[in-house]
Amino acid sequence: MTSTLETATLPHRGRIKWIILLSLIAGMLGATAGFFLAGKPQYKSVGMIQIKPFTPGVFDDSSPIPMFDAYVDSQVAIMQSRRTVDMAMQNPEWKALGRGLSDQSAADLQSSLSVSRQGGTIVTVTFLDPDPRAARIAVGAVIQAYQTIYDEANTGDENRRSQILDDLKTRYMTELARLRNAMQQDGDFGPEALDITYQFKVHELNRIESEIQQTRMNIRIAQAAADGQISATRPSAAVPAATGPAMTIAANDPEPGHNLSDPPKTGDNLAMMRLREMTLVDQVSQYQADLKSLAARKYQADALSAESANVQDNLNKTKSRIQQLNIENQLGGRISVISDGETPLSPDNDPRIKTTILGFIVGMALAFPILLFTTIRKPCKKTV
């Protein structure tokens, strides 16, 4: 027996399939709408600047910047200020993008610009834009504008440092020339030559003083002989024989018959030895005067040499510092640009992914219950 029953509780299985299929179609329509209604993907370019925590000085960079954190914060504020933005918009590359120079264009650029401090001395400049090339150009233009503003504010200090160093260099070179000229006024006697001459004079003085002592001993011997205390022709065993200068004088005596075996008369020999003593004493006085003069000249030469070396060292340091500051100025001095931005290869943020997924979910969420409710309200026949 066959009967037909009406039910309002369960739809036919075939209708369930159609409900799911139509819900999927509605979801795809929602995803498509979400994709096209979403904003454009954003490309991010990042630049990095290092701010060194010291104030450049004339000869060193050891002076730390007071309240360095506050100083960096002030530089961050300058980078994203309207003045920096307006100057960045004058960049030829940015102007070539055709974004305009209006207040709205400046506001758009400023809203897409982000400057933040990363760590102690690093500041990042970030720009988001649908055009990856525009993102890179914006970062470079902002950093270049900031460098210009910074250079304008610090050019006076750099010029003063350079002027001080140039003046010092000129003064040291002039002083070095004066010292070298003073050293040359002593002829060829530099500190080393004066030292050699001084040592030679000391040696000669010691030799002459030794000869004086020997001569005086010979005089005493001759005087004793003249007084009859000892033999005039043969030295006593208790008194040393006359040697050295006395024997030399006797050997060179022009008087006939005077030689080593036949010495001169005691009176003549004594007079010659006393004359020799006076000559040697005069030589000692002369050597002592020479040594005193050499000592003064040597002291002056040593002082000039030490002063010259000190001036030369200061001159070398000054030249080195000038070269160092020139290099620092070429590299940005206290501000060092690590990166002025690169063209991003992939978007940093693509809202179409989220809106597409959301559109699909919303499409299905709205279509499925509507189709299910409509199908349930329709009767269906079931054969038993």
State residue 140's pLDDT score: 93
Q: What angle do CA 164, 166, 171 make, to 5 degrees?
A: 95
pLDDT of residue 345: 80
pLDDT at 163: 78
For residue 374, give both structure tokens: 């409509």
In single-letter form, the type of residue at position 132 comes to P
Residue 142: closest CA among 44, 46, 71, 51: 46
In the three-class reduction of DSSP (H, G, I as helix; E, B as strand; rest coil), residue 158 is classed as: helix
The C-alpha R_g of the chain, in whole angstroms, comes to 54
Tell me the residue ranges of DSSP E strands in the chain.
Answer: 4-7, 43-51, 54-55, 63-64, 113-118, 122-129, 335-339, 380-383
- Other Cβ atoms closer than 10 A to 195: 15
| Residue pLDDT tens, the chain, 384 long | 444 444 444 455 566 666 666 667 766 776 666 555 655 677 889 999 988 876 555 555 555 666 788 888 888 999 999 999 999 999 999 999 998 889 999 999 999 999 998 877 899 999 988 889 999 999 999 999 998 888 787 766 666 777 788 888 888 888 888 877 877 765 555 667 778 888 898 999 999 999 999 999 988 888 888 777 655 444 443 344 444 444 333 334 444 433 434 444 555 688 888 899 999 999 999 989 888 888 887 778 778 888 888 988 888 888 887 777 666 555 445 778 888 888 888 776 656 666 667 666 766 666 666 665 666 555 554 444
Contacts of 284 (CB under 8 A, 6+ apart): 205, 208, 209, 212
> What was the pLDDT predicted at 367?
60
pLDDT of amino acid 31: 61
- pLDDT for the residue 24: 72
